[in-house]
Amino acid sequence: MIEDNDSLLQQFFSEAASQQIEDNGFTERVMQRLPSRMNWFVRIWNTVCIALFAVLFVVFHGWDLLAVQFEVMLRTLSTHSFSINLLMMFTIVFGLLFVGVGEVALKAKYEE
């Protein structure tokens, strides 16, 4: 049953893909006017921002700041009791999943 459906779908889509619709060059003009996937300015800007972050991280002793913040977080957690709000936990988990799925889809789109 599934193989029959697959073969029917393959046949339908192969016939549809072979059809040409005359549009007087409209599709070609639209495709030429689309912006490139990633232009050179974006690549340069990303590189400059990453380099600036790395320099500032070293200048302001980022490792020391992270160590202090981590120590404060651990001491605070050890002295206070806390309760987990299930709604907040689900919101965070689904938010992270949403962002992750969006990033994967975006990466797949640009790799095509």
Q: How far is CA 90 from CA 19, 86, 87, 111, in A?
A: 48, 6, 5, 31
Distance, in Å, from the CA atom of 37 to the CA atom of 112, rounded to the nearest integer, reads 11
pLDDT in tens, 21-51: 788 888 888 888 877 666 777 788 889 999 9
pLDDT recorded at residue 53 = 92
Instruction: Answer whether 0.85 is exceeded by the pTM.
Output: no
Residue 34 near residue 107, CB atoms below 8 Å: no
Q: How far is CA 93 from CA 66, 87, 90, 99, 101, in A?
A: 24, 10, 5, 10, 12
Copy the structure tokens of residue 10.
């393959």
pLDDT recorded at residue 50 = 92
Residue 110 near residue 38, CB atoms below 8 Å: yes
Residue 108: pLDDT band by 50, 70, 90 thresholds?
low
Distance, in Å, from the CA atom of 112 to the CA atom of 100, rounded to the nearest integer, reads 19
